[in-house]
Amino acid sequence: MRISFIGLGAMGYPMARHLSKAYEVVVWNRTPEKAARHAREHGTRHVHDLVQCADAEVIITMLPTSREVDEIVEQLVSSVKEGTLWIDATSGDPNVSRETAKRLAEHGVAFVDAPVTGAVVGAENATLTIMMGGDTADVDRAKEVLKSCGKTLIHVGPTGAGHAIKVLTNTIMGATVWITSECLLVAKRFGIDMKTALEVTNAGSGRSNASENLLPMRLRDHQWPLVFKLLHHDKDIRIASQLAHQQHAATPMLALTQHLFSAALNELGPEADYIEVAKIVAKMNDSSWD
């Protein structure tokens, strides 16, 4: 079976590598040098012309947002074969993906939204959690393909459901990172050392992925690696906020989280890591984590 993989970024590059062990994989990337390198390193086939990606049983997109996915769909839609399955692994917008699915369906192409969680390390180790939206038969086809990239594959609901739950869980994480940073900063200003504050937090009911895995390296050890762009995280929270708005839902915490992350993005810039929001928490208090 031939798979066309579009978007060899931090996540897509290792995902396409795993797929190439089981399938014939064609790769296309906006910056072609990355696709050429992928072909050299992993035996995939690099194509310069995007339209060549249409000749495949499965097309996978792993791009920043639904906007870029739409641009690719626009360029391929008249060339894709009937019966093709389009898997969008981007953390996209469920409203847009429903429109994309309808558009592709007019050409006999099935669509499954299949965003992932587990960070770059999960993509590298094929341990991602993949949440999928679409018809059962299409999702079953997608699962068969994506099982080489992930450990937990979950059919969440109809088209768009994967994208919806992805942005909502990332919003939970964002709010948790922010409030945990605020409380740890207060502890620090009270004179409690960071090692002890984290130890107690992680032994008690304030424990979370943020306090156990994300914050100690930054707040205690002063290492701030770029793991996931704040730009992408802000995008996810804004989509979650739009979903709430659309449903007339009363979600003040979600709205506040969205405003805080957008303010942090404006302050830190598009290349910042998402956990650097903790620096904004410190700055708002004329403090630092040093």
Catalytic annotation, residues: 166
Look up residue 155 and give its two tokens. 């059919």
Q: Which is nearer to ligand NDP, 6 or 104 (CB)?
A: 6
**CA distance from start to end of the chain:** 53
Buried residues in 47-78 as b, exposed as e (16+ CB within 10 A): beebebbbebbbbbbbbbbbebbbebbeebbe
Does 117 contact ligand NDP by CB under 6 A?
Answer: yes
Using the minimum distance from each CB to ligand NDP, give the nearer residue, 134 or 150. Answer: 150
Are 97 and 160 a contacting pair, CB within 8 Å? yes
Query: For ligand NDP, which is the closer residue by CB, 71 or 140?
Result: 71
Which residues, 52 to 71, sit near ligand NDP by CB under 6 A? Answer: 62-64, 68, 71
How distant, in Å, are the alpha carbons of 48, 56, 101, 198, 264 from that of 29?
Answer: 8, 16, 22, 42, 30
Single out the segment in contact with ligand NDP by CB under 6 A; choices: 8-16, 155-163, 171-179, 265-273.
8-16
Tell me whether residue 184 or residue 239 sits nearer to ligand NDP (CB atom): 239
Give the interface segment with ligand NDP, choosing from 1-9, 150-158, 178-186, 198-206 (CB under 6 A): 1-9
Residue 226 interacts with ligand NDP (CB under 6 A): yes or no: no
Which token pair is 157?
Answer: 């609901």
Q: How far is the CB of 64 from ligand NDP (least distance, A)?
A: 5
Amino acid at 156: V
- Owner of token pair 């993906």: 97
Q: Nearest distance from residue 92's CB to ligand NDP, in Å?
A: 7
> Which segment (6-14, 79-87, 190-198, 201-209) binds ligand NDP by CB under 6 A?
6-14
The residue count for binding ligand NDP (CB under 6 A) is: 24
- Measured from the CB of residue 35, what is the shortest distance to ligand NDP in angstroms? 9
* Shorter beta-carbon distance to ligand NDP: residue 15 or 278: 15
Asked if residue 56 lies in contact with residue 48, where contact means CB atoms within 8 angstroms, the answer is no
CB of 120 or CB of 217, closer to ligand NDP = 120
Say whether residue 261 binds ligand NDP (CB under 6 A): no
Write the DSSP assignment of 224-240 as a string of letters: ----SBHHHHHHHHHHH
CA 262: distance to chain centroid? 17
The CA–CA distances, whole Å, from 37 to 42, 251, 279 equal 8, 45, 36
Q: Which range of residues in 75-83, 174-182, 224-232, 281-289 is near ligand NDP by CB under 6 A? A: 224-232
Residue whose Cβ sits closest to ligand NDP: 9
Q: Where are the beta strands (DSSP E) in 29-159?
A: 45-46, 58-61, 85-88, 110-113, 116-117, 128-133, 150-157
> Contact with ligand NDP (CB under 6 A): which of 3, 4, 5, 12?
12
Contacting residue, 29, 159, 171, 211, with ligand NDP by CB under 6 A: 29
Residues 141-200 within binding reach of ligand NDP (CB under 6 A): none
Considering the rule CB under 6 A, would residue 133 count as an interface residue with ligand NDP?
no
Residue 227 CA to residue 216 CA, distance in Å, equals 14
Distance separating alpha carbons of residues 246 and 155, to the nearest angstrom: 23
Give the footprint of ligand NDP on this chain (CB under 6 A).
7-12, 29-31, 34, 62-64, 68, 71, 90-91, 116-117, 119-120, 227-228, 232
